[in-house]
């Protein structure tokens, strides 16, 4: 037993040394768990921040002044007051993203309970900011109008109080950075394991392994623990340094519990990578096969779109994938601070599916070695 453990350990050290000599793969790992996370959390922001807005105030009333005063930083720049004739020229030049026109007798009509239209002009070339900002503007105007009516002894019949849990300011960097970490774990664990087997074939060292007194299980376990160790180091650095310190994203849950879920996932994904490495003969072939596998896993695992919004057949198929259960666990732990009493069923599912993938890859790996010997 001790001999087998030492064989797995030494083979794993060999894999780590080989990886250190692969400069391109090493750069990819370092980038993915550092700058890649930072870029995903900041550059692709969908938050409304410093949006340019102007008002055409034809009413000049207390209500219109109250509405204009409700727009302030950081979501909106200080509102500018312009005339109606300036709208087209200012928006054509891209100076304003939003221009709100408050009509004459607006306050009077509101107090009488009559309808009064407020015109919102949007520069839709700024697509993301335009779509989200329109909702913010509508919500702010309605809130200020209802609050104004309350002060005039005409309370609104319904008051909606909205509370956002887990991300109260709807900061997109919180979601973007953590989602990037989740995707990187899935992507790199498959890629590294498959690339390790491809390197063996390209460098001719697979023949050396065949003549050594090694069992295929030892070879597979060595590749799994070594590549998994690299991923766990990258995750720890990415979460504790980039996410928590640099991006200042609070991590709600238990880090050991999250790393346990990652360890169980790696048992599955590295087995998938080894299976792909046996099918592909070269790294270009591995790359093409990798694209076909990784895109459905990321897009359909619930990280980008909730599984509940997918067709029932897709939901059933993805329930057999370890990545779907892992995404649920990661979100529950990192976002909501869930404990093992909540995520244990998904942990068991990941282990069960991972055991199946490992045994399947092992049988295929044995046949592959026997055909080459």
| Overall pTM > 0.75 | no
Question: 261 near 329, Cβ under 8 Å?
Answer: yes
From residue 39, alpha-carbon distances to 34, 119, 299 in Å are 9, 36, 20
Secondary structure of 11-39 in HEC code, one letter for each residue = HHHHHHHHHHHCHHHHHHHHHHCCHHHHH
More confident residue, 45 or 54: 54
Backbone angles phi, psi at 94, to 5 degrees: 75, 20
Q: What pLDDT shows up at residue 348? A: 92
Task: Mark whether 267 and 346 lie in a shared domain.
Answer: yes
Residues 6+ apart with CB under 8 A from 171: 47
Average pLDDT, the chain: 83
| pLDDT tens digits, 103-141 | 888 888 888 877 778 889 988 777 767 778 888 888 888
Report if residue 305 sits inside a domain.
yes
Last residue of a domain, one of 117, 151, 185: 151
Domain of 259?
Answer: 2-44+171-372
Q: Assess whether 112 and 181 both reside in one domain.
A: no
What is the H or E stretch that residue 98 is in?
A: strand 98-102
Instruction: Give the pLDDT of residue 289.
Output: 86
Domain-located, residue 157:
no
Per-residue confidence (pLDDT) for residue 160, from 0 to 100: 59
Spell out the long-range contacts of 279-288 with Cβ–Cβ below 8 A and sequence spacing 24 or more.
280/194, 280/198, 281/201, 282/198, 282/202, 283/195, 283/198, 283/202, 286/194, 286/195, 286/198
Angle at 194 between CA 355 and CA 296, to 5 degrees: 75
Distance CA 194, CA 31 (A): 19
Q: Is the pLDDT of residue 51 over 80?
A: yes
What is residue 193's predicted lDDT score, i.e. its pLDDT?
Answer: 83
Residue 77 lies in a domain: yes
Please state, in angstroms and rounded to a whole number, the distance separating the CA atoms of residues 8 and 224. Answer: 10
Counted domains in the chain: 2
Say if residue 130 is in the same domain as residue 16: no
Instruction: Show contacts of 339-347: CB within 8 Å, 24+ apart.
Output: 339/253, 339/254, 339/257, 340/257, 343/257, 343/261, 346/261, 347/260, 347/261, 347/264
Pairing of strands 53-57, 119-122: unpaired
Q: Which residue, 151, 184, 217, sits at the end of a domain?
A: 151
* Amino acid 150: pLDDT: 74
Distance CA(242)–CA(238), nearest Å, equals 5
Residues 40 and 58 in one domain: no
343 located within any domain: yes
The DSSP 8-state label assigned to residue 336 in this structure reads T
Flag whether 156 is in a domain. no
Question: Averaged over 170-184, what is the pLDDT?
Answer: 81
> Could you say which of 151, 180, 201 is where a domain stops?
151
pLDDT at 371 over 70: no
Instruction: State phi, psi for 49 to the nearest 5 degrees.
Output: -145, 125
Q: Are strands 119-122 and 98-102 parallel, antiparallel or unpaired?
A: antiparallel
Beta bridge partners of 102: 57
Cβ atoms of 99 and 56 closer than 8 Å: yes
Instruction: Specify the CATH number for the domain of residue 69.
Output: 3.40.1710.10
- Asked if residue 185 lies in contact with residue 231, where contact means CB atoms within 8 angstroms, the answer is yes
Which pLDDT does position 44 carry in this prediction?
Answer: 59
Strands 53-57 and 98-102 come out as parallel
**Confidence label for 161 from pLDDT (cuts 50, 70 and 90):** low
Residue 40 has pLDDT above 60, yes or no: yes
pLDDT higher than threshold 90 for residue 279 = no
Instruction: Count Cα atoms within 13 angstroms, Cβ side, for 117.
Output: 3
| Higher local confidence (pLDDT), 190 or 44 | 190
Residue that has been written with the tokens 């009077």 in this structure: 108
Do 80 and 32 fall into the same domain?
no
Q: Which residues contact 69 (CB under 8 A, 6 or more apart)?
A: none
- Element at 62 (helix H, strand E): helix 62-69
pLDDT tops 80 at residue 212: no
Of 315, 311, 335, nearest in space to 325 by CA: 315
Examine the domain organization and report whether 219 and 357 are in the same domain: yes
Reply yes or no on whether the pLDDT at 159 is more than 60: no
Q: Note whether 186 and 224 are same-domain residues.
A: yes
Paired residues of 51 in beta bridges: 76
In this structure, what token pair is assigned to residue 279? 């099918």
**Do 37 and 86 belong together in one domain?**
no
Confidence tier at 331 by pLDDT (50, 70, 90) = confident
Same domain as 197, residue 313 = yes
**Residues 13 and 111 occupy one common structural domain:** no
* pLDDT band, residue 8 (cuts 50/70/90): confident
For residues 13 and 121, state if they share a domain: no
pLDDT at 216 over 60: yes
C-alpha to C-alpha distances, 203 to 173, 196, 206, 219, 354, nearest whole angstrom: 42, 11, 8, 16, 29
Average the pLDDT over each of 19-28, 193-202, 260-269 and give the range with the smallest value.
193-202
80 and 17 assigned to the same domain: no
Provide mean pLDDT across the span 214-238.
85
The stretch 271-279 carries a mean pLDDT of 83
Residue 223 falls within a domain, yes or no?
yes
Considering the domain boundaries, does residue 109 fall inside one?
yes
Look at residue 158 and tell me if it is in a domain: no
């Amino acid at each position: 037993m001790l001999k087998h453990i030492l064989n797995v350990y030494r083979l794993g050290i060999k894999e780590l040394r080989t990886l250190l000599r692969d400069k391109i793969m090493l750069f990819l790992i370092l980038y993915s768990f550092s700058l890649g996370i930072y870029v995903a959390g900041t550059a692709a922001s969908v938050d409304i921040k410093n949006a340019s807005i102007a008002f055409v105030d034809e009413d000049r009333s207390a209500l219109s002044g109250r509405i204009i005063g409700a727009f302030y930083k950081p979501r909106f720049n200080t509102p500018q007051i312009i005339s109606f004739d300036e709208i087209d020229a200012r928006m054509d030049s891209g100076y304003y993203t939003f221009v709100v026109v408050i009509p004459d007798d607006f306050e009077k009509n509101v107090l009488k309970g009559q309808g009064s239209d407020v015109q919102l002009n949007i520069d839709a070339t700024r697509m993301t900011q335009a779509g989200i900002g329109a909702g913010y503007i509508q919500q702010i105007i309605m809130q200020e109008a209802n609050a104004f009516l309350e002060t005039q002894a005409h309370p609104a019949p319904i008051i909606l109080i909205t509370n956002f849990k887990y991300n109260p300011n709807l900061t997109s960097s919180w979601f973007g950075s953590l989602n990037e970490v989740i995707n990187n774990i899935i992507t790199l664990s498959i890629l590294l394991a498959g690339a390790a087997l491809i390197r063996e074939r390209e460098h001719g060292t697979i023949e050396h392994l065949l003549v050594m007194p090694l069992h295929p299980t030892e070879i597979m376990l060595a590749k799994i623990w070594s590549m998994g160790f690299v991923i766990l180091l990258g995750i720890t650095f990415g979460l504790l340094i980039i996410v928590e310190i640099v991006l200042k994203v609070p991590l709600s849950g238990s880090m050991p519990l999250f790393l346990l879920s990652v360890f169980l996932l790696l048992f599955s994904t590295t087995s998938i990578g080894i299976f792909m490495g046996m099918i592909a003969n070269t790294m270009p072939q591995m790359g093409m096969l990798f694209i076909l596998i990784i895109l459905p896993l990321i897009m359909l695992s619930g990280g980008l779109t909730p599984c509940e919004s997918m067709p029932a057949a897709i939901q059933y198929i993805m329930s057999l994938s370890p990545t779907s259960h892992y995404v649920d666990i990661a979100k529950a732990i990192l976002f909501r601070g869930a404990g093992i009493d909540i995520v244990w069923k998904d942990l068991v599912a990941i282990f069960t599916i991972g055991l199946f993938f490992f045994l399947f890859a092992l049988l295929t790996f044995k046949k592959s070695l026997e055909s080459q010997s």
